[in-house]
């Protein structure tokens, strides 16, 4: 336990160190590198990940896919619950605790989302959001390999959630952990199949579209509003 707490503390210190690496005037100082990673992700997605997700959606009946998605969503409720507590959002924590107990028991380990049938709201939260609530700036925009849009702060938050707050991490068998993470990844990609097609068809520069959508969504989840810094200045960005 001491090692885990030390790891989280080190991650927080790292986030604090990197949070000042971007300004409102230049929220994407690593754009050249980010575009390279984005291109890699897009190529890997179109060549491998998207076809697998499409096959997954085509082969498995809808009730089974729904059960799989509910299962992983229920696991994610634990991560959200811990972050609700860290953000002192106790009302949201109570809702998520209720969802976790109901779906893990009556919902057969989360396969059935009984809590939603009972109109118990779900409050998604992650450690990157928690750091933002604590006043840690987002730092520079960052595109992570295979993961996608992020920032210095959110990359640290993603690492903390994955290593310390994800129930899958506490399985004893490495093979079982890896298999569950792979299925979770495919299920998540299958959920976004229609949205990815829409982005490719609608956006003149999908990279900028993804960047601005991500940064605005993250600011909204932390502050409850979007600042005036998100304007049309990005129309002048060079397209490589």
pLDDT of residue 238: 42
Record the pTM: 0.85
pLDDT of residue 203: 63
Distance separating alpha carbons of residues 98 and 94, to the nearest angstrom: 6
pLDDT of residue 235: 46
**What is the 8-class DSSP label of residue 20?**
T
Distance separating alpha carbons of residues 193 and 67, to the nearest angstrom: 18
pLDDT of residue 7: 62
**What is the 8-class DSSP label of residue 124?**
-
pLDDT of residue 187: 97
Parts of the chain with a pLDDT under 50? 233-240
Please calculate the CA angle 14-9-141 and round it to the nearest 5 degrees: 30
Return the domain boundaries, the chain.
2-233
Q: Give the count of beta carbons closer than 10 Å to the beta carbon of residue 152.
A: 24
pLDDT of residue 195: 75
């Amino acid at each position: 336990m001491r090692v885990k707490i030390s790891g989280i503390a080190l991650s927080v210190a790292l986030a604090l160190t990197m949070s000042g690496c971007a300004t409102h005037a230049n929220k994407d100082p690593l754009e050249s590198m980010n575009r390279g990673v984005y291109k890699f992700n897009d190529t890997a997605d179109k060549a491998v990940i998207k076809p697998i997700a499409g096959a997954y959606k085509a082969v498995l009946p809808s009730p089974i896919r729904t059960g799989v998605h509910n299962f992983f969503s229920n696991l994610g409720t634990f991560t959200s619950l811990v972050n609700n507590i860290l953000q002192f959002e106790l009302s949201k924590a109570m809702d998520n605790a209720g969802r976790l107990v109901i779906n893990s028991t009556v919902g057969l380990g989360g396969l059935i989302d009984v809590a939603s049938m009972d109109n118990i709201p779900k409050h998604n939260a992650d450690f990157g959001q928690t750091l933002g609530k604590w006043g840690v700036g987002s730092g520079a925009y960052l595109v992570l390999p295979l993961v996608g849009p992020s920032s210095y702060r959110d990359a640290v938050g993603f690492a903390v959630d994955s290593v310390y707050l994800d129930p899958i991490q506490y399985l004893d068998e490495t093979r079982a952990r890896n298999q569950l993470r792979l299925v979770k990844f495919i299920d998540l990609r299958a959920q976004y199949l229609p949205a990815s097609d829409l982005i490719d068809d609608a956006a003149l520069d999908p990279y900028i579209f993804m960047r601005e959508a991500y940064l605005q969504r993250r600011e909204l989840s932390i502050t409850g509003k979007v600042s005036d810094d998100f304007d049309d200045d990005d129309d002048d960005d060079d397209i490589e």
